[in-house]
Amino acid sequence: MGRCDPGLKLTRELTVAEEHTAQALGSGDVPVLGTPALLALAERACVEAIADDLPDGETSVGTWAEIEHLQATAIGHTVTARATLLGHHGRRLEFNVTIEEDGQTVARIRHRRLLVERSRFLARLQAPARA
């Protein structure tokens, strides 16, 4: 396992487009930033925060998230995700992500990722199902 030191941070932005809306994602019927798009942005920030610390052949997979979506964001507006690695327990990584628009908190997300060896992880998907 690489360093993945607690405190690693990364910031990512997203300008809300039609494909990011609750309406387009099927998570609601209004044209505002959908919760699934918030989670995808948060996960991307977490993945990128640790990318340089992972040894060759390792990656991380999302295993859990808790989302508090506090405020609607309209199409054309930009949100900023700030991901911070809180710590790790063996191969399990714990993140905190805050998503803001113009200094206002849009969402708070707690997220867990698991470090895995990419080839072994993918090989398990190709194995025949057990009876």
Please indicate, yes or no, if residue 62 is contained in any of the structural domains. Answer: yes
Among 99, 109, 113, which Cα is nearest to 51's? 113
Please indicate, yes or no, if residue 105 is contained in any of the structural domains. Answer: yes
Q: Rounded distance, CA 49 to CA 77, Å?
A: 24
Quote the pTM value. Answer: 0.91
Per-residue confidence band for 128, with pLDDT thresholds at 50, 70 and 90: confident
Please indicate, yes or no, if residue 4 is contained in any of the structural domains. Answer: no
pLDDT value for 1: 44
Kindly state the percentage of the chain with pLDDT values over 90. 83
Among 39, 35, 99, which Cα is nearest to 63's? 39
Residue type, 29: D
Please indicate, yes or no, if residue 1 is contained in any of the structural domains. Answer: no
Please indicate, yes or no, if residue 23 is contained in any of the structural domains. Answer: yes
* Structural domains in the chain (count): 1
Average pLDDT over residues 102-122: 97
Please indicate, yes or no, if residue 108 is contained in any of the structural domains. Answer: yes
Domain that holds residue 65: 9-126
pLDDT value for 5: 77
Distance of CA 65 to the CA centre of its chain: 8
Please indicate, yes or no, if residue 58 is contained in any of the structural domains. Answer: yes
27-72: per-residue pLDDT in tens?
A: 999 999 999 999 999 999 999 999 999 989 999 999 999 999 999 9
User: 48: domain CATH number?
Assistant: 3.10.129.10
Please indicate, yes or no, if residue 88 is contained in any of the structural domains. Answer: yes
Q: Rounded distance, CA 57 to CA 34, Å?
A: 33
Phi-psi region at 118: left, alpha or beta (left = phi > 0; alpha = psi -120 to 50):
alpha
As given in the structure block, the two tokens for residue 112 are 């867990």
Q: Rounded distance, CA 76 to CA 78, Å?
A: 7
